Structure 1
């Protein structure tokens, strides 16, 4: 079976530059989570140093408890682990765009606007650039899954705004007790269309779509 032309890493046109042109604002945007964590850690350290120098131990006890108590609970550890995977997946998605043809002639890659944990892995909301579409992400779905060290990926396009794409990274079977993804709460489950014709929507989602179509 011939390989999808969209998945050719070295296309016929040779003037497509390597995606590596990044300004300072772009670099800061891509490491925003790490910068926030570093700032929080610095503030935490300065607060502890100031409290110990003045002989005030209550702030030290309160701050230590705020960190240690969630760390010893299963819910707290799962929360930390799921959000660490979100950071990893965001960087791996950006790496796939850099290493494939999912960047513009100017070397710009799609923007990962938001990534959130789900019961099966992560979901990333992506804003595509001119010349890149949701079908591009579907064509590279296996490369994305391998780059994110995941089981598989699902790609969804917005029904009315095709520049928005959701990439679902599936790592495991559905885990009970995990809160519904923020992307579903923000845009609604009816707003997204799977790019796989053989993909079977969940029964509740099919019911929502049928009600929406009946109301039109």
Structure 2
């Protein structure tokens, strides 16, 4: 038996279209990072080619400095690794939606609007499609964790706009300084509520803890 009825929302005998369909803007949005990197690489290649044709070598010096400085520092390496995992997790999240029933009857999957590093992994801001909700992501939390090669997954929904979901991917113990300001600062912790009531902290919990310690 399935762990949750949401794990199988479509009848087994229903003939659905192949998932992953969508308009061109949605498909381009899913690979936006790769498109930006390819565009930057193409622009860099054209610039270097033009410079070598004119006998100028300073672009190579600038390029070497721009690459070697981040690689030579721990902060730079951590930044590169953290954002690499963001790209990996975004694609793995999309793959879970394709391989499970987290897509519409027309085959459209939720949009990963933004994904950012955290001290324990990544957080993804997702806009669901009609017929999909945060509880469905919670039902597939184990599949998401396995697909992202992570330890666990926490799911939160927006208090006032239920179409927005945060999927928190926990892949390691907390690493200080590994995160960017990210989702917490932009949207605020109080705007989100855990889908699992046992994980939700009351908004006034820090104040209560401070009063208890003071007493």
Normalised to the residue count of structure 1, the TM-score between the two structures is 0.88
Q: Quickly say closer, same or farther: Cα 1:208–1:182, change in 2 above 3 A.
A: farther
Q: Quickly say closer, same or farther: Cα 1:160–1:195, change in 2 above 3 A.
A: same
Q: CA deviation at 1:46?
A: 1.6
Greater mean deviation of Cα atoms: 42-51 or 122-131: 42-51
Q: Quickly say closer, same or farther: Cα 1:205–1:53, change in 2 above 3 A.
A: farther
Q: CA deviation at 1:208?
A: 7.4
Q: Counterpart of 2:108?
A: 108
Q: Counterpart of 1:32?
A: 32
Q: Counterpart of 1:207?
A: 206
Q: Counterpart of 2:67?
A: 67
SS of 2:122's equivalent in the other structure is strand
Q: CA deviation at 1:136?
A: 0.3
Q: Counterpart of 1:153?
A: 153
Q: CA deviation at 1:132?
A: 0.5
Check conservation: 2:190, 2:203, Cα contact below 8 A: no
Q: CA deviation at 1:188?
A: 0.5
SS of 2:198's equivalent in the other structure is coil
Q: Counterpart of 1:6?
A: 6
Distance in 1 of aligned mates of 2:102 and 2:111: 11
SS of 1:174's equivalent in the other structure is coil
Where structure 1 has 5 or more consecutive residues not aligned to the other structure, the ranges are 211-216
SS of 1:112's equivalent in the other structure is strand
Q: Number of paired residues?
A: 209
Deviation beyond 6 Å, 4+ runs, structure 1: none
Q: CA deviation at 1:16?
A: 3.4
Greater mean deviation of Cα atoms: 25-34 or 126-135: 25-34
Q: CA deviation at 1:207?
A: 3.2
Q: Which digits, 9 at most, give the CA deviation of each residue in 1:87-142, with x for residues without a partner?
A: 11111101111111111111111110000011100000000111100000000000
Where structure 2 has 5 or more consecutive residues not aligned to the other structure, the ranges are 210-215
Q: CA deviation at 1:162?
A: 0.6
Q: Quickly say closer, same or farther: Cα 1:180–1:79, change in 2 above 3 A.
A: closer
Q: Counterpart of 1:52?
A: 52
Q: CA deviation at 1:11?
A: 3.6
Normalised to the residue count of structure 2, the TM-score between the two structures is 0.89
